[in-house]
C-alpha cells in the first residue's frame, strides 16, 4: 500500500480472469476444480453474480471502485498492473499506483469487509 486513499479519485481492480464467455466458463470450471484462482473474484463475486456484501462495501467507499478483466482493461491500467493479477490500483490526478498486490488481496480471505478495511486504512 502506497498512498493515502484521499489522494485517489478511483480504485481499480483487475481480476486474474478474462471477460470473454470462454474465459468466464474456463475460470468458473477451473476455480471449482482448484485449477484457477483469483482472490479479487472471491471478494467481489459469488457463484454467478456480484456479492451483495461486496456491493454494500463498494457503496461505503468515498470514490468509485472500477473493475476490469485482464483482457478488457485500458492500456494505462495494464501498464500500472505490470502483469500482476489480481491487483487493486489507485488513480490520482497524474498517474495510477499499486494499492494492493495479490498477496494482500489473498489476506482478505474472500471478505469484502476486509478489503474495505484495507482500502479505508490507506
Tens of pLDDT, residues 68-98: 999 999 999 999 999 999 999 999 999 999 9
Task: Measure the CA–CA gap between 32 and 13, rounded to whole angstroms.
Answer: 22
Of 44, 14, 47, give the one whose Cα is nearest residue 29.
Answer: 47
Which domain does 72 fall in, by range? 5-120
Look at residue 3 in the predicted model and tell me its pLDDT. 47
Burial class (CB in 10 A: 0-12, 13-18, 19+), 5: middle
What does pTM read for this prediction? 0.88
CATH number at residue 82: 3.40.30
- 27-30: long-range contacts, CB 8 A cutoff, minimum separation 24: none
**Count of the separate structural domains present in the chain:** 1
Amino acid at each position: 500500500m502506497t498512498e493515502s486513499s484521499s489522494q485517489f479519485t478511483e480504485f481499480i481492480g483487475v481480476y486474474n480472469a478474462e471477460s470473454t464467455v470462454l474465459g468466464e466458463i474456463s475460470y468458473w470450471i477451473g476455480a471449482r476444480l482448484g485449477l484457477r484462482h483469483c482472490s479479487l473474484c472471491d471478494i467481489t463475486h459469488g457463484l454467478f453474480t456480484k456479492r451483495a456484501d461486496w456491493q454494500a462495501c463498494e457503496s461505503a467507499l468515498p470514490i468509485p471502485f472500477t473493475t476490469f478483466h485482464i483482457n478488457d482493461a485500458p492500456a494505462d491500467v495494464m501498464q500500472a498492473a505490470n502483469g500482476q493479477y489480481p491487483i487493486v490500483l489507485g488513480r490520482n490526478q497524474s498517474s495510477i499506483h499499486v494499492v494492493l498486490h495479490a498477496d494482500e488481496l489473498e489476506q482478505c480471505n474472500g471478505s469484502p469487509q476486509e478489503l474495505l478495511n484495507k482500502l479505508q486504512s490507506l
